[in-house]
Amino acid sequence: MKQPLVTPLDRDATPQAAKMADFYDETLGFTPNSLFTMMYRPRIADAFVEMNQAVMENKGRVTSALKREIAYLSSQATGCRYCEAHAIRAAERYGSTEERMQNIWEYKTHEAFSPADRAAFDLAIAASQVPNAVNQALAEEARAHWDEGEIVEIMGVVALFGYLNRWNDSMGTQLEEPAASTAAERLGHKGWNRGKHQY
């Protein structure tokens, strides 16, 4: 793409955009351009922010770091480079370890990941595919390690990032420099690049 499908609004375009920018500056270190495209219809932006906060709320064993790792794997499965970069940056900011981030695609065998992690990641990757690849075996493995509320949390992350993956890959959202820098450092050895998200 030669330019994003929709040009993001400026952070000072409206009082609501400025308020949203302040919130994300604190949590992510910058405000995603995707939010500034949603702001053309503020109810969509508001609904997304509420859903994001509900899904990412820490309720216990499905930790903040684990949720961001799931978001990364889900985004990688769908091919959204923008969301991969955001998710790995958020994983770093919310407590994922260097060892886990560097070896996340070896999660099936690497010692940094528990059987419960593996079950969550397998479920997330299968749920991110089109057509959906969740089957009886994956469901049984997920239930062996996670209770129903925890599975809802895992699926909430996959569903939230399903929305973001489609939004950002279709929009060709320009990737912000802080996210690009983190992704290059954490994922570059696996072939990550900005793809369509640079102009």
Give the pTM: 0.95
Domain 15-190 is classified in which CATH homologous superfamily? AhpD-like (1.20.1290.10)
Q: Give the tens place of pLDDT for each residue, 116-173.
A: 999 999 999 999 999 999 999 999 999 999 999 999 999 999 999 999 999 999 999 9
Mean pLDDT, the chain, integer: 95
Residue 194 pLDDT level (bands cut at 50, 70, 90):
very high
Residue 46 phi/psi, 5-degree rounding, is -60, -45
Helices (H), ranges, the chain: 15-27, 33-38, 42-56, 64-78, 81-93, 98-102, 115-128, 136-145, 148-171, 177-187
Distance from C-alpha of 76 to C-alpha of 83, rounded to nearest angstrom = 8
Q: Give the tens place of pLDDT for each residue, 8-21.
A: 999 889 888 888 88
Residue 42 pLDDT level (bands cut at 50, 70, 90):
very high
Per-domain residue ranges of the chain: 15-190
